[in-house]
């Protein structure tokens, strides 16, 4: 029985048990240290790889987060830049309008008329270019039939339609416009009419009246459709009518109607 108990298998088990007992309770440094070092040596490559991998993952997460932050910052900057550009454009427009207004105010005949300064906000398309829309209307006392001038009293048209905040101006070149006119150099009189947006003709000039190329043509004040003395243009060409009883003249305006940016509505004579 004792031989059986101390068999080879039991002996190995007993030795292992004693070693584990000594390692657990006695914990001799000379015994556990080599094991600990061996385990650390085996685990070191795995530990190093795990550390480096976790650090790279952390850096990648930080990099991705920074990209997201940069994208948000970039979008914010783009929005702010658009706002600044819009404000700059608005300031430039206001400055340009103020420059135009300042220049025109120097030339406008305020000593003679009560004028309403207005900016052009829309125009007729070529080739007719027979009207414009201005940014003042009935709320500012503008009425249909009022005359429209620029610079030092150059008549360019009349108010055709009015709304509270805007008004339509038809140019003298519009075929529906007729103005009593006078040659201030010779006193010859006639009626200036529009030629379907293409130009101005002075008609019904008596054959006996003298006219010269280059003479200034102004409103005569007859008929009360326009105050006297507003410049219409200059004579470019003189022609005889078909019945040879009257003359006609081609009149060239001193301004190009389609280039106007600002006009003055003549509200009443002072």
Q: Which of 211, 219, 222 lies closest to 249 in space, CA to CA?
A: 211
Give the Cβ contact number of residue 196 at 10 Å. Answer: 12
- One digit per residue, the tens of pLDDT, for the chain of length 270 reads 445 545 666 667 677 666 655 555 555 555 555 655 655 566 556 555 665 566 665 666 665 666 667 777 777 777 776 676 666 666 555 565 555 555 555 545 556 678 898 999 999 888 778 899 999 999 999 999 999 998 778 999 999 999 999 999 999 999 889 999 999 999 999 999 988 666 899 999 998 899 999 999 999 988 777 888 899 999 999 988 777 788 999 999 999 998 898 899 998 755
pLDDT at residue 74, rounded to an integer: 74
pLDDT at residue 15, rounded to an integer: 72
pLDDT at residue 129, rounded to an integer: 81
Distance of CA 266 to the CA centre of its chain: 30
Q: Whole-model pTM?
A: 0.60
Residues, the chain, total? 270
pLDDT at residue 5, rounded to an integer: 47
- Top-tier CATH class for 113-269: mainly beta
pLDDT at residue 107, rounded to an integer: 47
Domain ranges of the chain: 1-84, 113-269
pLDDT at residue 93, rounded to an integer: 55
């Amino acid at each position: 029985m004792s031989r059986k108990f101390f068999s080879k298998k039991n002996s190995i088990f007993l030795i292992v048990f004693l070693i584990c007992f000594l390692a657990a309770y006695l914990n001799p440094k000379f015994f556990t240290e080599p094991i600990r070092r061996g385990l650390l040596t085996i685990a070191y490559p795995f530990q190093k790889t795990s550390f480096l991998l976790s650090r790279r993952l952390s850096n990648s997460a930080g990099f991705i987060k920074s990209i997201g932050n940069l994208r948000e910052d970039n979008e914010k900057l783009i929005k702010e830049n658009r706002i600044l550009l819009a404000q700059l454009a608005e300031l430039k427009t206001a400055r340009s309008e103020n420059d135009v207004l300042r220049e025109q105010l120097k030339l406008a005949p305020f000593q003679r008329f009560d004028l309403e300064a207005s900016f052009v906000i829309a125009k007729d398309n070529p080739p007719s270019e027979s009207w414009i829309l201005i940014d003042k209307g009935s709320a500012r006392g503008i009425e249909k039939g009022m005359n429209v001038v620029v610079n030092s009293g150059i008549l360019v048209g009349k108010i055709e339609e009015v709304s509270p905040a805007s008004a339509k101006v038809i140019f003298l070149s519009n075929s529906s416009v007729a103005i009593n006119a006078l040659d201030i150099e010779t006193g010859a009189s006639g009626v200036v009419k529009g030629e379907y947006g293409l130009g101005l003709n002075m008609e019904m000039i008596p054959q006996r009246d003298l006219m010269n190329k280059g003479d200034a043509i102004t409103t005569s004040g007859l008929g009360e459709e326009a105050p006297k003395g507003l410049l219409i243009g200059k004579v470019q060409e003189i022609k005889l009518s078909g019945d040879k009883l009257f003359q006609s003249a081609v009149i060239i305006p001193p301004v190009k109607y389609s280039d106007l940016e600002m006009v003055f509505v003549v509200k009443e004579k002072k």
